Amino acid sequence: MLGTRATEDAATGDDEAQPVKARGLVKRYKDVLAVDHIDLNVGHGDVYGFLGPNGAGKTTTLRMALGLITPTEGTVELFGRDPMRHGARALEGVAGFVEAPRFYPYLTARKNLQLLAALDGNDAASRIDEVLDVVELSPRAGHKVGGYSHGMRQRLGIAAALLRRPRLLILDEPATGLDPAGMRDMRALIRRLADEQITVLLSSHQLPEVQELCDRVAIVESGRVVYEGALSDLRRQGGASYRLRTSDDTRALQLAQAQSGVEHVSRSEHGLNLQADEHHVGELSLALGGAGVAIFALTPELATLEDLFFRLTEGSGAADGAGGAEPKAVPVG
C-alpha cells in the first residue's frame, strides 16, 4: 500500500460518459425514506440545479454521489464510475463539498490546502497560490481557519475544490450564510467556472440563485424528483399564464371557462387571469372575436421559478419536463 502509484483510470473511467447519472437512488434510515428512487441526468457543461426545500433529500443524494454514504438501492455514476465500486478513482475530475466545507481549524488556510493537495496528488500543490487568489484569500492564507468567518470558509471550500482541476463541481448550498456581496461574488465565480466548461451540480434552496445560474434543474420534494429537465421548459410549460383585458370581461370570463385547455381562470380588477398554452390561447382569442368581445390586451406572464417550485413542492400541480425537446412525465408526490 505504501508507495506512489498511477491509477488505472483508463480502464474504468470514461471522459465521454455522463458526469452524473443516478438511477433509482434510494436511501432509507430505518423508517425514514430520505431519498426515494431518484434519477438524475447531468450532462457535460450543464449548470444543473438541484432544488428542493430543506429536508427534501438533496444533501443525502449528494453524499451518495460522492461515495460518502451507501445507497440502500440504486446506483450513481460519475463519468461512468460508481464511487461504491471504484472508491476514490470515481472522484477523479470531481470536486466540491457537501453541506458546509470543513477544514482543520488548527491549521492555516494554506496548510489546509497543502494537506488536501497532498491527498489529491498530481500537481495540485503547485496551484495553491493560484486558487487562493481566485477566492481572494491570499492575504489571509497564513491565518488559522478556526478564526475564519463562514463566508471565508465557503470561499476556501471553493479553493479546495479548484485544486483538483474539476470537470464536475458539486456544490451544496454554496451561498448559504453569505452576505449579499458574498452571494453575488459566489454566483459570479460559479458562472465563470461554468463558462470554462466545468459541469456544475448545484444544490440549493435559493430560487433566485438557481434561476440565475442553472440551465437544467431537478426539483425534489420528500425524497422524490417532481421535475427534471430544462429550466426553460419548466417555465414555459408550467408557468404559461396570461392576463386578459377585454371590452366585456364578464362575457370573456364565461367564454374562457367554457374553452377547453384554458385553466385557472379568475377575475381581478385589472381583467382576467388564466393559464393555457399558446394553442389554446389562440383558440380563446378567436372565440372572443367571434363573440364580439374586443381584446384590449392579452399579456403572457411567464411564471417565476418560485411560482413553479411552490406549485410542484406543495402538490397543487405537476409540471413535467425532461432533458430534451420532448417532455417526460415525472410523477409528483
141-180 binders of other proteins (CB under 8 A): 155, 160, 162, 164-167
233-252 binders of other proteins (CB under 8 A): none
CA distance 206 to 194: 18
CA distance 176 to 234: 25
Q: 153 in the Ramachandran plot: left (φ > 0), alpha (ψ -120 to 50) or beta? A: alpha
**Phi/psi of residue 77, each to 5°?**
-125, 140
195-224 binders of other proteins (CB under 8 A): 196-198
Nearer to other proteins, 102 or 328 (CB): 102
CB of 145 to other proteins, least distance (A): 10
Residue 8, classed as helix, strand or coil, is: coil
CA distance 107 to 172: 24
By CB under 8 A, name the one of 68, 286, 291, 297 that touches other proteins: 68
46, 67, 222, 292 from 80: Cα distances, Å: 16, 14, 27, 61
99-118 binders of other proteins (CB under 8 A): 99-107, 111, 115-116, 118
**Phi/psi of residue 36, each to 5°?**
-125, 90
By CB under 8 A, name the one of 21, 58, 127, 311 that touches other proteins: 127
By CB under 8 A, name the one of 24, 73, 85, 88 that touches other proteins: 88
By CB under 8 A, name the one of 24, 73, 85, 87 that touches other proteins: 87
Contact region with other proteins (CB under 8 A), list: 18-26, 35-43, 124-132, 298-306:
124-132
Burial class from Cβ neighbours inside 10 Å (0-12, 13-18, 19+) for residue 175 reads buried
Nearer to other proteins, 173 or 320 (CB): 173
**Phi/psi of residue 213, each to 5°?**
-100, -30
23-62 binders of other proteins (CB under 8 A): none
Nearer to other proteins, 101 or 327 (CB): 101
